[in-house]
Amino acid sequence: MSLCQICGNTIDSDCSRCPYCHSILEADEPQQQSKARFYQKIVNIEDGLPTVEQALARLQSELHAASQEKIRVLTLIHGYGSTGKGGAIRLECRKTLDYLKGLGDVHTVIYGENFNRKNGPTRHILSRFSELSRHPHFNHNNKGITLVQMY
């Protein structure tokens, strides 16, 4: 097992392309991979069809882990919901993230539908982390994700 240099997800060592962000993987020596610093990680908090409370607990856990692992940008896949109006997990996760931003616990929150070149906060985060221009959801108007820039 190794980690993708772009998204930070764990992948099989024999893969040539990351199954999460679809970036082409470069062959590195194992010792270099363990020293590499990962700026971004993609986490699917709706995996397993959790309740809203379970999803919020996982959100808190993933934010804490990202802080401990020195992840700079966390992409949360919370889904859009099956009603066509946005699901409860999406709404509650975004409320929580906005609250944490207000407290100063996270730096920036970018909703997936705003993750494009025309958005000011997106341009700012791209200037700091150019790797995000290769993000699989960049410029796709995806309402089922939210990006969080950590401190």
Q: Please, are residues 9 and 3 in contact by the beta-carbon 8 Å criterion?
A: yes
For the record, the structure tokens of 121 come out as 């906060």
Residues 3 and 44 in one domain: no
Residues 120 and 75 in one domain: yes
Residues 74 and 144 in one domain: yes
Q: What is the DSSP string of the chain?
A: -EE-TTT--EE-TT-SB-TTT-PBPPP--HHHHHHPPP-EEEEETTTT---HHHHHHHHHHHHHHHHHTT-SEEEEE----SSSS--HHHHHHHHHHHHHHHHTSSSEEEEGGG-STT-HHHHHHHHH-GGGGG-TTTTS--TTEEEEE--
Q: Which range marks the domain in which residue 33 is found?
A: 1-37
Domain count, the chain: 2
pLDDT of residue 5: 65
Q: Assign 37 a pLDDT band (cuts: 50, 70, 90).
A: low
- Range scoring the smallest mean pLDDT among 33-42, 79-88, 130-139: 33-42
Residues 77 and 5 in one domain: no
Residues 112 and 44 in one domain: yes
Domain harbouring 101, CATH code: 3.30.1370.110
Say what the pTM is: 0.77
Best-predicted range by mean pLDDT among 4-8, 36-40, 110-114? 110-114
pLDDT digits (tens, 9 = 90+) for 62-99: 999 999 988 999 999 999 987 777 799 999 999 999 99
pLDDT exceeds cutoff 70 at 16: yes
